[in-house]
Chains A and B, each alone.
Chain A
Amino acid sequence: MIRKKFSYVLLFCCLSLLSTACKEDVDIPDLLVGTWQLTEVKVNEQSEDISDKTDLIQFQANSIYQSYNTTTEEKNRGGWSYQGNMLNISLDLPAAYYVETISENSLELKRFDFGTDGELLTTQLFYEKAADDLIP
């Protein structure tokens, strides 16, 4: 009888710990690693022309970040980290990105910037997974 009661207590304690433990999402950095191709940009919900934008970005597991503009063939290298639930890319700081959605094949990033009159601009960037060798 006593044993049974203690088993229930133990079960309760274990379930409580599992359900309330301080969680940190560890999947996002792993899912970010790879090369991503820009498919759409929206500023305050309005689609933008992406023909002149840097269209390939790459997150490497060793925290190296690369971007490549296939039109101008301009390539940049920097660092990246995922901290405070935000994606930091050294080339873009102090602005950082919120990972809105991420899966094996798609990625949506969001960032805030001040407009010229101080209005807060919300930029959404949509990406699809691409082959690593697209960046020379």
Chain B
Amino acid sequence: MNIMKKINNHISFILLFFTAFVFSSCNDEIDSDLFTGLWVQQSITEDGQEVSLSEKEKNLELLIESNGVYRTHTNNDDGSGSTEYYGAWTVTDSKWIEFSVNTWTLESDAYTLSESDQWNENHVLTRFTILSVDADMMQIRIKTYVGNKKYSPLFVVHDRPLVTEDNYSQITNEYKELKTYIFTFVKQQ
């Protein structure tokens, strides 16, 4: 009788363990599907301070699709049509979301070079920490150089200025100063 009771306990334990295993085996901490859909940029903070958004940034739309491609759309500030941009996205370890972005860096002594040679373009994966994501809102954070945020499409495509002796040191300083940015998007569809 005692042996039967022990066996029953073992069976109950196995059943409990197996049920827990089966129902947890397919789950990630964050479901990547939560990211897919159409998002509109709601706010950006820089080191905790809310940044005043330009018209272009206010109407930024971000379409994330399950095949790993994202697309953005903004109406240009000067009313001269719109700008679309696209790249790839991935989620890593349920902690980070990476977007491939054409980042721009400044050549040394760029002001001595012709306009077309002043900036270097690099297509790189740019990693954001996922602060929160649900069916309605997504918040992601990145610590990056001010210059990177200012001149690379995070997430609005920006114009890069002509580098002169006057603005060279200001721009190089922007690539030395690190700040933390939090982007908030709200789901549209």
Complexed CA–CA distance, A124 and B84 (Å): 22
In the complex, B68 has a CB within 8 A of chain A: yes
Specify which of B18, B67, B81 lies most central, judged by the most chain A CB atoms within 10 Å of its CB: B67
Kindly state the separation between the CA atoms of A83 and B90 in the bound complex, as whole angstroms: 13
Point out the residue from B14, B22, B63, B189 that lies within 8 Å of A114, measured CB to CB. Answer: B63
Q: Which residue of B lies closest to A117 (CB)?
A: B75
Q: How far is the CA of A64 from the CA of B167 in the complex (A)?
A: 51
Measured between C-beta atoms, what is the minimum distance from B188 to chain A in Å?
Answer: 8
Checking B67, B71, B81, B86 against A88 with a beta-carbon cut-off of 8 angstroms, the contacting residue is B67
Q: Is the CB of A114 within 8 A of B65?
A: no
B15 touches A9 (CB 8 A): yes
B38 at the interface (CB under 8 A from A): yes
B66 is contacted by which of A5, A20, A86, A114 (Cβ under 8 Å)? Answer: A86
Within 8 A of A (CB), among B12-45: 14-15, 18-19, 22-23, 25-26, 38
Contact A20 B26 (CB under 8 A): yes
B23 close to A120 (CB less than 8 A): no
Cβ–Cβ contact A84 & B189, under 8 A: no
Say yes or no: A20 contacts B67, CB within 8 Å.
Answer: no
**Residue positions of B touching A, CB distance < 8 A:** 4, 7-8, 11, 14-15, 18-19, 22-23, 25-26, 38, 59, 61, 63, 65-69, 71, 73-75, 81-82, 84, 86, 188-189
User: 19 extra interchain contacts, Cβ-Cβ under 8 A, other than A85-B66, A114-B61, A120-B38?
Assistant: A2-B7, A5-B11, A13-B18, A16-B18, A17-B22, A83-B67, A86-B65, A94-B71, A96-B69, A112-B63, A114-B73, A116-B81, A116-B82, A117-B75, A117-B82, A118-B59, A118-B73, A118-B75, A120-B63
6 sampled A-B residue pairs with Cβ under 8 A: A20-B26, A22-B26, A93-B69, A114-B84, A118-B59, A120-B38
